[in-house]
Amino acid sequence: MTDYIDIIEEDLKELDDICDECKQKHESVSQNLILTGFKICKSCRVSKTIFPI
Ligand SMILES: [Zn+2]
């Protein structure tokens, strides 16, 4: 089971909660990465939804 924990800790290093769009740290970034595949914060996700590039 220790291997499983190690994998989670490695993943968390990737999830630094820094938004790719605005470069600000927000707890919603990792959630959006899982949900949408985009490493963006809540506000950037809203703006992308309204104005898709
Ligand atoms: Zn952002």
Taking CA atoms, 23 is separated from 18, 37, 44, in Å, by 6, 17, 10
Residue 31 has pLDDT above 60, yes or no: yes
Q: What is the DSSP letter of 24?
A: -
Q: How far is the CA of 39 from the centre of ligand 1 (A)?
A: 9
Q: How far is the CA of 13 from the centre of ligand 1 (A)?
A: 19
Count of domains observed in the chain: 1
Q: For residue 40, is it left (φ>0), alpha (ψ between -120 and 50) or beta? A: beta
Q: How confident is the model at residue 14 (pLDDT cuts 50, 70, 90)?
A: low
Q: Which residues constitute the domain of residue 29?
A: 2-50
Q: How far is the CA of 3 from the centre of ligand 1 (A)?
A: 33
Q: How confident is the model at residue 13 (pLDDT cuts 50, 70, 90)?
A: low
Q: How far is the CA of 25 from the centre of ligand 1 (A)?
A: 8
